[in-house]
Every structure is written in C-alpha cells, then in structure tokens.
C-alpha cells in the first residue's frame, strides 16, 4: 500500500510539474507578445454626384427627377458614368416633346370664352391637364395657384387647365376647392390631341407656339417659374 501511495504521489508531482511548465510558458508568451496594431482602413474621398440634361447643363436633383418622370411610360435612357476624380455623372435623355410645335386646339372655358391656339400665338401658354379624382393633380394645385399669382398680371401669359370631367362635376369641385387657372371641362378631344400618358401633365408653350416645358408631377418649382419668366422675356 505504501508503495502504491508513493507511486501516485510521484505521478501527481510529475503531472503538476508539466502543468506548471505549460502555464509558465503561456504566461511568458502573453507578456512578451506585442499587441497587434489595428488594421489601417484606406478611406478614399467620396466623389460627388452631378446631374446633367441632354445638352450637358447641370440640373438640380429635383429637376433630374422631373425630367426622368416627364414620360414615365417610356423606357428610361439615363446614362451614368464615373469620372476620373470619382464624380458620378448622370446624363438625362432629351424630353422629345420639347422644341416641337404644339398641336392646334380650340377650347371653351367654364365662363363661356372660346380660345384657339392660333389666336393665342404670341402669348405664353401654361397648360395643366388633370381630373378631379387624381391625387397628384390636387396636391400640386396650391403651387400652380402661386404661379398664377406671380405671373398672371401679365397680359402675355395665360394659364389654362383642361379636364375630361363634365361641367357639372367641375362646377361642384370649384365651389369647394380653389384653382385659379382658366377652366375647361369636357376637353377629352384636346387632351387626346397632345398624345400624353398619365396625369397630371404640365406644359408651357412659348410665344412662337413651340413646347418648351413638358413635365408630369413637379418637384423643381423654381425651374417651372424660370421657364415661364424666360418665355415672357422673349420678344
């Protein structure tokens, strides 16, 4: 028995010695090993994003959206390029209606006045195509009214809103809502003549009878105002 206890004690001491050596080695390793330096992250300067129209003129982000949505039913042809300095450049497609002669039309307003495109040549025409059940149309009315307040005192501009809604429906609508354009009801034939898709549609026709602005919803209202002002400034 004494011999067995002696063997176990010797074995235990041997195992203890080995474990002590292992722990001592680990402790030494932990003390002497240098801490790794944090990884260095290379941060390249972010390039800016710019938007250009089809002529290369820089435009705002809002105008970028307006142009892309001008004919939202047509496949988007916007081009993107990354320049040498990291700048991301978007080049927009041309709005095909702009620069073309506007269709001939004749309309009668709610108060019984009749106008034709030929008679109105020499004036700037600001047209809005809408209908009563169109949320986007209703949302933009306050700002369209603001444009009338800003430019409507000039005898060289006319604001006309055309809808396919009937006179009775339009009369009821205007009794509770403010819309300061000249109102034309039952205008489906004229709307068809312009060959557009989607409401609302906002169009500016210059004094020479050419379309200079063709948009659906408007985010860049400063552009809308500047187009009207530029056309009024022309002889």
pLDDT tens-digit map of 118-177: 999 999 999 999 999 999 999 999 999 999 999 999 999 999 999 999 999 999 999 999
Residues 6+ apart with CB under 8 A from 161: 127, 128, 129, 130, 144, 179, 181, 182, 183, 184
Domain spans of the chain? 49-91, 106-233
pLDDT tens-digit map of 68-104: 999 988 888 788 888 888 889 899 889 999 999 999 9
Question: What pLDDT shows up at residue 93?
Answer: 87
Measured in residues, the chain has a length of 235
- Please provide the average confidence, as pLDDT, over all residues in the chain: 84
Residues 6+ apart with CB under 8 A from 149: 180
Question: What pLDDT shows up at residue 217?
Answer: 84
3-state helix, strand, coil in the chain (%, to 5): 35, 20, 40
β 58-59/49-52 pair status = antiparallel
Q: 8, 93, 5, 108: which is closest to 55 by C-alpha?
A: 93
- pLDDT(10) > 80: no
Q: For domain 106-233, is the CATH number 3.40.30.10? A: yes
pLDDT tens-digit map of 17-55: 433 433 333 433 333 344 545 545 445 455 689 999 888
Burial category of 30 from C-beta neighbours within 10 Å (exposed 0-12, middle 13-18, buried 19 and up): exposed
**pLDDT band at residue 63 under the 50/70/90 scheme:** very high
Question: What pLDDT shows up at residue 211?
Answer: 98
- Whole-angstrom distance, CA of residue 53 vs CA of residue 214: 14
CA distances from 139 to 36, 47, 159 (A): 60, 35, 18
DSSP track, 209-224: SBEEEEESS-S-HHHH
Question: What pLDDT shows up at residue 166?
Answer: 97
Q: Which of 6-20, 82-96, 215-229 has the lowest mean pLDDT?
A: 6-20
CA angle 187-188-189, nearest 5°? Answer: 95
- Whole-angstrom distance, CA of residue 219 vs CA of residue 51: 15
Q: Pick the residue with more confidence: 2 or 137? A: 137
Q: Is the peptide bond before 201 cis (omega within 30 degrees of 0)?
A: no
Question: How far is C-alpha 83 from the chain's CA centre?
Answer: 23
41 is written with which tokens?
Answer: 């992250």
């Amino acid at each position: 028995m004494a011999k067995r206890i002696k063997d176990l004690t010797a074995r235990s001491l041997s195992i203890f010695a080995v474990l002590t050596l292992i722990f001592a080695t680990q402790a030494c390793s932990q003390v002497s090993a240098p801490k790794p330096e944090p990884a260095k992250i290379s941060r390249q300067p972010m390039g800016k994003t710019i938007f250009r129209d089809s002529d290369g003129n820089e435009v705002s982000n809002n105008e970028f959206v307006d142009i892309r949505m001008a004919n939202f039913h047509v496949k988007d042809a916007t081009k993107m390029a990354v320049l040498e300095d990291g700048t991301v450049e978007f080049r927009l497609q041309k709005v095909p209606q702009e620069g073309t002669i506007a269709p001939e039309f004749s309309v009668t307003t709610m108060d019984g006045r009749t106008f034709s495109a030929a008679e109105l040549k020499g004036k700037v025409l600001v047209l809005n195509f809408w209908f009563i059940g169109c949320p986007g149309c209703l949302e933009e009315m306050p700002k369209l009214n603001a444009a009338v307040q800003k430019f409507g005192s000039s005898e060289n501009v006319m604001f006309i809103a055309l809808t396919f809604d009937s006179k009775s429906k339009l009369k009821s609508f205007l009794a509770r809502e403010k819309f300061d354009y000249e109102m034309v009801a039952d205008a489906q034939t004229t709307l068809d003549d312009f060959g557009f898709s989607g409401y609302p549609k906002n169009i500016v026709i210059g004094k020479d009878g050419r379309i200079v602005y063709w948009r659906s919803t408007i985010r860049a209202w400063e552009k809308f105002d500047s187009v009207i002002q530029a056309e009024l400034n022309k002889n």
